[in-house]
Amino acid sequence: PAVGAPGRAATAVAHPNIALIKYWGKRDERLMIPYVDSLSMTLDVLPTTTTVRLDPTARTDSVTLDGSPAEGEVRRRVTDFLELLRERSGCFEPAVVDTRNSVPTGAGLASSASGFAALAMAGAAAYGLDLDRTGLSRLARRGSASASRSLFDGFAICHAGRGAGATADIGSYAEPVPAPDFDPALVVALVDEGAKAVSSRAAMRRTVETSPLYRAWAASSRADLAEMRTALLRGDLDAVGEIAERNALGMHATMLAARPAVRYLSPATVAVLDSVLRLRSDGVPAYATMDAGPNVKVLCHRADAARVAEAVRGAAPGCSVVTARRGPGARLQTG
């Protein structure tokens, strides 16, 4: 659409998602095509709200994150994404982007997932791109591969796709995974809210290039995914938790074996992992997963969430704990 098309300004809200089967490694960094399929739960907490407004009078894009001008890598990733929206829409106006995160940015808490899901949805609307949810998911993937999954409620799979170039681009998107009777709690332990020392992008690249364990994990991840789908259909928390925990620990093992090693897990992470083992030996089903950071997310029955939160707080004094459940896919804010 040309200048003056519908859109012009739009606001979207998206929630983070936590992968139960992890995405780690890209086979095409420009198109952001993952090596492996991944499967996640979208949360009902810590949303990102993003407004995109076209400004024909501006010379460059303006990007603010939580009220401050974005700089460096963050700004570059957002402006690259706006470039993609301009190429697709044929509308070359600069944009004013305002993003509010309720999750610490870059701390391994899926801020890029909620961030690029919200930016894709608001940006597509502002630039007048007519995309269905699959198209929006594919678009969000270009910002951050995990963002493709935050377009959907509850559980979602991101397909790694096949082939190269346009074929790979078309085949890599997320879609919902049925889990009709599964509504667990995810207790998020924020043991450290600082930004990570190594970006996930750099860490993935190093892992794929140097870790002798990477291929073995990718192969086992395919088997984990198939088992995970049936466990979700059955609503079997123990099976879902066991598969998620081993998949996450395996992903961290690939990083620990990279040269030089990438280690996101801290002493507080390990203390929380120990508390999860103690909960299980006390008969409370609880299972841990960790992303590109020291924070731990513990999957459990909703009825056990308060007990799990207490155990986690005891293990890592001073950490903040947020209890989530399955939440909504990204949506435009109207009015």
**Would you tell me which residues interact with ligand 2P0 (CB under 6 A)?**
19, 22-24, 32, 38, 112-113, 144-146, 200-201, 291-292
CB of 244 to ligand 2P0, least distance (A): 11
Handedness of CA 237, 193, 61, 200 (dihedral sign): negative
CB of 134 to ligand 2P0, least distance (A): 18
Report in angstroms the alpha-carbon separations of 88 from 1, 12, 128: 9, 19, 10
CB of 23 to ligand 2P0, least distance (A): 3
Handedness of CA 11, 174, 131, 168 (dihedral sign): positive
Query: Parallel, antiparallel, or unpaired: how do β-strands 331-333 and 9-14 relate?
Result: antiparallel
| CA neighbor of 308 nearest in space, from 294, 293, 292, 324 | 324
CB of 94 to ligand 2P0, least distance (A): 23
Nearer to ligand 2P0, 188 or 311 (CB): 188
Handedness of CA 83, 89, 91, 96 (dihedral sign): negative
CB of 92 to ligand 2P0, least distance (A): 25
Nearer to ligand 2P0, 11 or 38 (CB): 38
Within 8 A by CB and 6+ apart from 130, the residues are: none
Nearer to ligand 2P0, 38 or 269 (CB): 38
Q: How far apart are the first and last CA of the chain?
A: 23
Tokens, residue 308: 């799990």
CB of 188 to ligand 2P0, least distance (A): 14
Q: How far apart (Å, rounded) are the C-alpha atoms in residues 157 and 40? A: 7
Nearer to ligand 2P0, 205 or 301 (CB): 205
Nearer to ligand 2P0, 53 or 149 (CB): 149
Nearer to ligand 2P0, 32 or 54 (CB): 32
Q: How far apart (Å, rounded) are the C-alpha atoms in residues 256 and 194? A: 21
Q: How far apart (Å, rounded) are the C-alpha atoms in residues 138 and 127? A: 16
Nearer to ligand 2P0, 61 or 291 (CB): 291
CB of 110 to ligand 2P0, least distance (A): 6
Report in angstroms the alpha-carbon separations of 53 from 56, 144, 211, 262, 267: 10, 21, 43, 39, 44
Q: How far apart (Å, rounded) are the C-alpha atoms in residues 269 and 225? A: 25
Nearer to ligand 2P0, 145 or 186 (CB): 145
CB of 116 to ligand 2P0, least distance (A): 7
27, 214 contact by CB (below 8 A) = no
